[in-house]
A and B are shown apart, each in its own frame.
Chain A
Amino acid sequence: MSADRGSLPRYIVQRILLVIPMIWLALTIVFLLLRVAPGDPVSAAVGGKLDAAALASRRHSLGLDRPLIVQYWDYIKDVATFNFGQTISDNRPIIDVIRDNGGATLTLTLGAFLFALVFGIPLGLLAGRYRDTAADAVIRVFGVVSYAAPIFWTGLLAVILIAPTGWPTYDIASPVTKFEVHPVTHILLVDAALSGNADAFWDVLQHHVLPCLTLGLLLSGVFIRLVRVNLLHSLQGDYVEAARARGIAERHVIRRHAFRNALVPVITIIGLQVALTMSGAVLTERTFNWPGLGNQLVKYLVARDYSAVQGLVTFFAIVVVIVSVFIDILNAVIDPRVRY
């Protein structure tokens, strides 16, 4: 292997260049699925409500009466300029939907990750360190169950338990806060902080707790399982054996040699979790009536709004590709073995 091939800048450039074909392919798949396959999107969404002439004009204004190849080209071109199209059912630009609802999804998923990291990694290390003991068994069962439990079910149970206490279990903020805080960044938590209104900020924060915990619980299950397996692998590594042979105290071997190496793949895990988090966010938002993108997606799915579904799914696909590339690069910076 030449020194140049393994160089970091080169790897980063390669990875970034690969984003373009990946996004293009994802867009093509989305287009093929949502535009080519079914019948007429306009009559599916607003069928019974408009007469034939109005339907035809809607089709025309959305460009749905043109040849598919033209539509495909326009779609790719539009996405390149961050134009994700227009919803059919309520006639909004999809970029507006993303702007208004994306912030709620962002804070939800970040909060969930924070919770999963703080909670999942120590438990995973503990289970791996004390393998096959009662603690390991309990943690493993917890890991399996928290992963097995559907997120909307844990969410609903949390609502049932917490709702009687008066702690908020619904939506991202109380109506008063929503009225008081003016959108600046469109991320309510940030906007509330910027407004300097302590009550509003506290209110939004309170509303975040339950949804973030619910989504974080799902993610922590994955963290526990993977960190545990990583630790088991690194405990069997030659370098651990070597450290032991040199007479280094077991406590030290575990902390310095095994734990650190077991934690390297955590970044990769986070990368792999992005997709799962998104799926989880859709369900969490539905459970807590959280005004995020997932809830909007479900709304448009129920309305059979192909155009809105296409736009939102496109956005999700792009986010996944970009985040995974970002994680890959981060991984390469941390772990030189990744860049080959």
Chain B
Amino acid sequence: MFKTLTSPIRNTSGMARWILLAGLIITAAFVIMAIFAPWIAPYGFAQNSSDGMRFPKMGPPSAAHPLGTNDQFFDILSRVIWGARTEVTVVVLSVLFAVSVGMPLGLLSGFLGGWADRLMVFVMDVLYSFPSLLLAIVFAFLLRGPLGGGTFAAALALTAIYIPQYFRVVRSTTASAREATYVEAARAIGARNGTIMGRYLFGNVIQSVPVIGTLNAADAISTLAALGFIGLGIQPTDAAEWGYDLSRALDDAQSGIWWTTLFPGLAIVLLVTGLTLVGEGLNETVNPTLRKRRFRKVRMPANEPTSALVEGEV
């Protein structure tokens, strides 16, 4: 298990390996923050006083509040740490949802072919060409009524925009694998369509999912933050969310208060960068065409090859 997990790292070299490692370290740091938020964060995410003492309003970074406090008297360090928990939860949920809907659809569409395939491709293409943020906005706007502005609603709104991506990749892999010899062989021994899809195609198709998964996760973080910034994200009472914090910082920026902007944004940049690096690193290992070939110089003594040749002939 450990060997398969670390194989992408071992298979890479040079810059690709460093990219992958750096990405993994950054991502792991945020996952740890997310899991242990209650123990790491000095205060709660919506806590505005401690020991009966009210926190300062928009207080600059100090010993008690290393990253300062915001206009709601909240400690920014705590909100950044609790925010990691929100982002990781939403992203994991949305990627899982999107994979579990997009992949079966793509398998089915690619395997069946014909008019059903064409129709699905067309619908997915239209969805895909739509600006993803706008799609997420529409879904978040709609889901707010029935589901409230919670983590689950946010994850569902993001799911909608990633389904077409999994669909497309899985469909195209399936469509090309459908004609492969092993599928033909399976059909020859009498395997039913369900078996072929579930057993033979699935295993081959799933390999492309981790790369899109990590890249989507990176994108999902930005989109979630954007939703929060617009005011359609997670309700501030439900959880801490970086994008929402930045929308509160909008008014501070004009008056030169920098700490309410800098730190939540930095958290977004770091996590998105980390995930992107993992995705790119994985991409270079999975996709051999991107790998740089290393030529080993063959050393030949100046005049000897000819003489060796002549000698060989003798």
Given A152-B246, A156-B265, A320-B131, A301 and B230 contact (CB-CB distance below 8 Å): yes
B138, B230, B243: which contacts A309 (Cβ < 8 A)?
Answer: B138
A149 touching B265, Cβ below 8 Å: yes
- Are B134 and A278 in contact, CB atoms less than 8 angstroms apart? yes
With contacts A25-B123, A316-B134 taken as known, whether A157 is within 8 angstroms of B265 at the C-beta atoms is yes
Specify which chain A residues have a CB less than 8 angstroms from the CB of B130 in the assembled complex: 26, 275, 317, 320
For A301, list chain B residues within 8 Å (CB): 137, 141, 230-232
Determine if A147 is an interface residue (Cβ-Cβ < 8 Å).
Answer: yes
Given A276-B131, A301-B137, does the pair A38, B145 have CB atoms closer than 8 Å? yes
Q: Are B276 and A147 in contact (CB under 8 A)?
A: yes
Chain B stretch 211-257: residues in CB contact (< 8 A) with chain A: 218, 222, 225-226, 229-232, 243, 246-247, 249-250, 253-254, 256-257
Q: Are B250 and A132 in contact (CB under 8 A)?
A: no
Decide yes or no whether A29 CB sits under 8 A from chain B.
yes
Interface-facing stretch out of B64-72, B169-177, B189-197, B266-274: B266-274
Q: In the assembly, what is the distance between CA of A312 and CA of B194, in Å?
A: 43
A residues less than 8 Å from B96 (CB atoms): none
Taking CB atoms, residues of chain B closer than 8 Å to A242 are none
Which listed segment binds B: A55-63, A68-76, A163-171? Answer: A163-171
From residue B242, how far is it (CB to closest CB) to chain A in Å? 9
Chain B interface main SS type = helix
Residues of B within 8 A of A229 (CB): 290
Smallest beta-carbon distance B198→chain A, Å: 30
Cβ-based interface call for A131 (8 A): yes
- Given the interface pairs A149-B269, A153-B268, A321-B129, the reply to whether A144 lies near B138 with Cβ below 8 Å is no
Q: How many residues of A contact B (CB 8 A)?
A: 53
How far is A229 from B142 in the complex, measured between Cα atoms in Å? 39
User: Smallest distance from the beta carbon of B65 to chain A beta carbons, Å?
Assistant: 19
A244 and B129 alpha carbons, distance in the complex (Å): 40
Is B261 interfacial (CB-CB < 8 Å)?
Answer: yes
* Residues in B neighbouring A38, C-beta threshold 8 A: 142, 145-146
Instruction: Give how many A-B residue pairs fall within 8 Å (CB-CB).
Output: 137
In the complex, whether A287 has a CB less than 8 A from a CB of chain B is yes
Residues of A within 8 A of B243 (CB): 150
Q: Give which listed residue, B247, B269, B289, contacts A148 with CB less than 8 A.
A: B269
Interface: A333 (CB within 8 A): no
CA distance A275 to B250 in the complex (A): 25
CA distance A233 to B287 in the complex (A): 13
A160 within 8 A of B: yes
The answer to whether B15 touches A144, judged by C-beta atoms less than 8 angstroms apart, is no
- For B127, the closest partner residue in chain A by CB is A29
Is B133 positioned at the interface, with any CB of A under 8 Å from its CB?
A: yes
Residue-wise interface mask of B (24-36) relative to A, using a CB-CB cutoff of 8 A (1 in contact, 0 not): 0000000000000
Q: Mark A252-296, 1 if CB is under 8 A from B, else 0.
A: 000000000000000000000001101100110011000000000
Residues on B with C-beta less than 8 A from A287 are 250
Say whether B292 contacts A159, CB under 8 Å. no
Check: B122 CB closer than 8 A to any chain A CB.
Answer: yes
A298 to chain B: which residues have CB within 8 Å?
230-231
Are A148 and B218 CB-contacts (below 8 A) given A38-B142, A156-B265, A279-B132? yes
Q: Give Cα A88 to B292, complex, Å.
A: 58
Q: Which of A144, A152, A297 contacts B276 (CB 8 A)?
A: A144
Q: Does B301 contact A (CB under 8 A)?
A: no
Q: Which residues in B have their C-beta under 8 angstroms from that of A286?
A: 229-230, 250
A175 interface contact, C-beta 8 A:
no
With A137-B15, A156-B246, A316-B131 in contact, do A29 and B126 touch (Cβ < 8 Å)? yes
- Find B225's partner among A22, A25, A150, A297 (CB 8 Å cutoff): A150
Set B122, B146, B222: member contacting A150, Cβ < 8 A: B222
Instruction: Tell me the bound Cα distance from A109 to B81 in angstroms.
Output: 35
Q: In the complex, what distance in Å separates the CA atom of A159 from the CA atom of B222?
A: 20
Q: Contact check, A283 vs B226: say whether CB atoms are below 8 A apart.
A: yes
Contact of A275 among B122, B132, B138, B261 (CB under 8 A): B132
Q: Are B250 and A157 closer than 8 Å at their CB atoms? A: no
B58 at the interface (CB under 8 A from A): no
| Measured CA separation A30–B269 after assembly (Å) | 32
* Residues of chain B with a CB closer than 8 A to A169's CB: 254
B residues less than 8 Å from A170 (CB atoms): 254
B15 contacts A320, C-beta separation under 8 Å: no
Contact of B206 with A by CB under 8 A: no
List the A residue with the shortest CB-CB distance to B273.
A148
Residues of A within 8 A of B254 (CB): 159, 163, 169-170
Q: Can you sample 30 A-B contacts with CB below 8 Å?
A: A21-B122, A29-B127, A34-B142, A38-B146, A144-B276, A144-B277, A145-B273, A148-B272, A148-B273, A149-B265, A150-B269, A152-B246, A152-B247, A156-B249, A157-B261, A233-B289, A275-B131, A275-B132, A276-B132, A279-B226, A283-B133, A283-B229, A283-B230, A301-B230, A301-B232, A302-B231, A316-B134, A317-B130, A320-B130, A324-B129
9 extra interchain contacts, Cβ-Cβ under 8 A, other than A156-B253, A298-B231, A320-B131?
A: A30-B138, A33-B142, A34-B138, A148-B222, A152-B226, A163-B253, A169-B254, A233-B289, A316-B131
9 nearest A-B residue pairs (beta carbon): A279-B133, A153-B265, A148-B272, A275-B131, A278-B131, A159-B253, A148-B273, A156-B261, A156-B253
